[in-house]
Every structure is written in C-alpha cells, then in structure tokens.
Amino acid sequence: MDVIVTGEPGRWIARRGEEVIGEVTAFARPDGRCLVLFRSCRAEAYTPLVRAVAGHFPRDLHTEISESDAEACETLAESGFVIGRRDHVYTVPTDPAVTGLAGVTVPVGFELVTADQVEEDRLRELDDELRQDVPGCDGWRWDRQGFREQTYGSAAFDPAVYLVAVERSTGRYAGLVRIWNDPARPRLGLIAAGRPYRRRGLARGLLAQVFSVLHDRGVPEVAAEADVTNTASVTLLTSLGARRTGGSLELVRPGDRRPLGPEHRKRAFPGG
C-alpha cells in the first residue's frame, strides 16, 4: 500500500491506509534557514514527507537529530540530507564550588540588568548581533513581533536568569546570558559578549550570577549545547566542569536559492 501525504503548507502527515506513519512541520527561521521537524516517523515516511516539504520551500532544508540515531541519519541521507554541523551536548553544574565561579563578578565598568528592565528593541538588536558569531545562526534578523513572542511570551522566560551586561560609561549593551526554564531541565540558551568586550571575563561574570540564582533555588545543573568548532564556547563550558552527555547533528538537504515569501514564515520555533 502506497504512502499518502496530506496536509497544508507548514505541516504534513504521512499515512499508509488509515494509519499515520509520520508527521513533519517546517518553517523559516529569522536567519532564512528552513527548519524541518520530524515526529514519530517510520523509515518509509521520510522520503515522501521530505518531497512534500521541498515542494513548498524552495531552499535548503535543515533538520536536527541525535548523533546516536544512526537509523534516522541513514534514512535522511537517502532523502538527500548531508551533515552540516555537529554540536556537543553538555550538562553544566551550577554549584560555585564546582564551577569555580564563587566570588566572580562582571568586570568593573559594567552592570547587570534583567531582561524585563531593558529596552526591548535594543535587546533584540543585541541578540541579532551576538547570533552572527554563533555557528549556524549567521544572518539572523528578528522582527519585533517574533522576538517579543519568543522572549517575553515564552513560558520558559525567567528574567532573574536572563541578564544583559550594560557598559556604564556608554550605556551600550555589551553581552547577555539567558537560561530558559524548560520543564525537563533549565537550558543555557546563549552566553555571549559583543566583539569589543571579549576576553575581559564578562561571560564568566554573567554565568556566575545566573548560576548562583539557580543554585540557591536548588537547581543542580543546566543543559547546554556548543558547536564542535566553537572553541571558545567549548573551552568555557568545560572549564566550568561541564560533562559531555551526547551530541546532535544538523543535517542539510541542498535546494535552490529562491527567496522565501512571508507565507513560508512561522513565528514560533525553538529558540536559543
């Protein structure tokens, strides 16, 4: 019996007869990359679902899988996907006795402000700026509504652990750290300093503050990811006692390069 794919642009379901054998959603992120999310797919569902997505999105298709999922990797390879990036997945302790962050503060000349107390447009612009140096996020440009929904509208948003470093002399936003309070485990979404402010200890000062908050709450560890080529991030996390617990692969299926229209975009997506 043939596999039949039905649905609407952005979401497709594969069936064999009356039985659902796979589902996929796809949307364009603010960096223009098309992210494809497969759910509960049998091997025979991948190819017809990929064809449905590719017929609607005239771009490269990106998806993420666990490095341990050899079957999915092989099946997606048969549908034209190749490995684009690799991430390490870590568990990072919050105890300052383990991280070595006891007594660490941000450098002189900076202050920390919670994300609910800063100017929204400037925070959005800082986020765009910092993402340009995050592997796999270059070209990222938020629109106001999308940023507001993904930040302040997220159930995982917690301003006590979403901090912005502000340079006192200029008022410039110099860096940020954000922990998303995901239900399973808090997750380090981003720790970064702007290019003029690196190698001053700003990142460690930011982490010291949010980890202190979490440790006082009784949260022993957070999840984190880092691209294997991002030496600075990997070095920082491992210096804090982070343990590698796995990895993930970003797979890419090359497509043509026609620009996407607004009908391809969706505002809600997994954020960093």
Where exactly are the structural domains of the chain? 3-85+250-257, 89-249
Residue 268 has pLDDT above 50, yes or no: no
256 pLDDT band, cuts 50/70/90, is: low
User: pLDDT tens digits, residue range 55-96?
Assistant: 998 889 999 999 999 999 999 999 999 999 999 999 999 999
In this structure, the chain runs to a length of 272
Q: Which long-range contacts (CB under 8 A, 24 or more apart) does 216-219 make?
A: 219/94, 219/186
User: pLDDT tens digits, residue range 130-175?
Assistant: 999 999 999 999 999 999 999 999 999 999 999 999 999 999 999 9
CATH number for the domain running over 89-249: 3.40.630.30
Measuring CA to CA, which residue among 271, 60, 33, 260 is closest to residue 146? 271
Q: What is the C-alpha to C-alpha distance for residues 118 and 124, in angstroms, rounded to an integer?
A: 10
pLDDT at 249: 97
Would the CATH topology of 3-85+250-257 be identical to that of 89-249?
Answer: yes
- CATH fold, domain 3-85+250-257, is Aminopeptidase (3.40.630)
